[in-house]
Structure 1
Amino acid sequence: MAREFLLVDGYNVIHAWDELRRIVNEQNLEIARSRLLEILSNYQGYKKIDVIVVFDAHRVKGTRKVITYHNINVVFTKEVETADHYIEKVVHQIGRDYRVRVATSDGLEQIIILGKGASRMSARELYTEVKQVEKNMRKKFIEKKQLDHSNRLEGHLDSGVLEWMEKMRRK
């Protein structure tokens, strides 16, 4: 299976999703950004793809900053560099060798990245996919819980620990 990347225009998604836009209005942008990263971290854990979230910093003095947040990469672009420009560069570099999807509702950006070999998804499509993944994760968790009929400690421990406990009990 070929490696897959999802590049996300962070602020574009924040302003497109009702939940995150409400957080911006009622609290602040930093909390909305953290919430988006939490959501995408869970999504990445389920989908097992490389997720790169890009935030504009073109009005902020300084150089590009790349951090790892749990299991995703987060890029704060450098001064005078937009998220769109950074995403275009990355797609140009890896778009022909890997499966790359870009999540943005910016129509012009979607056209540009399609020409560079990536597929596009709107912020709304990403939202729908994320909600489906959350639903699948809940279903999987509930099914697992239903299979474990007992609520005994041994039902929650791995076999090595159980074996050690049994040896201790027999001494």
Structure 2
Amino acid sequence: MRNIFIDGYNVINSWPVLKKTKDYSFESARQHLIELLINYASFKEYRIFIVFDAQKVVGSIEKEEKVSDHVTIVFTKEGQTADAYIEKTVNNIGRRNEVFVVTSDRLEQQLVFQRGAVRMSSMEFYNEVKSIKKGISNKIQVNYSDEKHTLEDQIDKNILDKLEKIRRSH
């Protein structure tokens, strides 16, 4: 299974849809990102770690929260950046697993690449997530339009004939 580590605030500051939201609410931007990635991860069957740094939050301890079968949210401890957490974790995973790191931080991209991870910029990932979201919507639309929507399509022919007889007798 592919593991994807995402620098959460880097992505929020890069994706147009999230940039607008964060201007009035960082919490809403975080929540929107999480919802988008839960759908993406479920569809692709990837394991995603969204890392938000709490480096400037006094007394913050590292906290992980699994929000779905495929998505885990990580808040770093005080004094630790998302980059540092990702580097350490990718280094521990090593080259045993397929690992992607999403960040637009050039130095971070170099470091994780040296540790065997595939790097992807925030905007490249944005375009992939957008494409998958569109694919999911199209698939839902096709499935929905294939379903039966009229009463006649859903009722057994014999019952429909009886109802028609009753209707004509009145």
Tell me the SS of whatever aligns to 1:16. Answer: coil
Count of aligned pairs: 151
In the alignment, does 2:40 pair up with 1:75?
no
Tell me the SS of whatever aligns to 2:80. Answer: coil
- The match for 1:15 among 13, 16, 19 is 13
Q: Which residue of 2 aligns with 1:54?
A: 51
- What are the residue-to-residue correspondences of 1:72-151 with 2, within 5 Å? 72-151=71-150
In the alignment, does 2:39 pair up with 1:42?
yes
Tell me the SS of whatever aligns to 1:52. Answer: strand
| Cα deviation, residue 103, structure 1 | 0.4
C-alpha offsets along residues 54-91 of structure 1, whole Å, 9 cap, x if unaligned? 00101112210111123410000001111000000111
Q: In 2, Cα distance between the equivalents of 1:20 and 1:114?
A: 26
Q: In 2, Cα distance between the equivalents of 1:29 and 1:146?
A: 37
The letter for the 2-side match of 1:132 is: S
The letter for the 2-side match of 1:131 is: K
Q: Which residue of 1 aligns with 2:158?
A: none
The letter for the 1-side match of 2:2 is: E
| Cα deviation, residue 105, structure 1 | 0.2
* Uncovered stretches (5+) of structure 1, i.e. residues with no partner: 156-171
C-alpha offsets along residues 26-75 of structure 1, whole Å, 9 cap, x if unaligned? x2111111111011111111110100000010111221011112341000
Q: In 2, Cα distance between the equivalents of 1:150 and 1:15?
A: 43
Among all aligned residue pairs of Structure 1 and Structure 2, give the percentage whose two residues are the same amino acid: 39
Q: TM-score, normalised by structure 2?
A: 0.84
| Cα deviation, residue 151, structure 1 | 4.4
What RMSD in Å do the two structures reach over aligned CA positions? 1.4
The letter for the 1-side match of 2:53 is: D
Tell me the SS of whatever aligns to 1:6. Answer: strand
The letter for the 2-side match of 1:119 is: V
Larger radius of gyration: 2
Q: In 1, Cα distance between the equivalents of 2:85 and 2:46?
A: 19
Q: In 2, Cα distance between the equivalents of 1:126 and 1:18?
A: 13
Q: Which residue of 2 aligns with 1:165?
A: none
Q: Which residue of 2 aligns with 1:158?
A: none
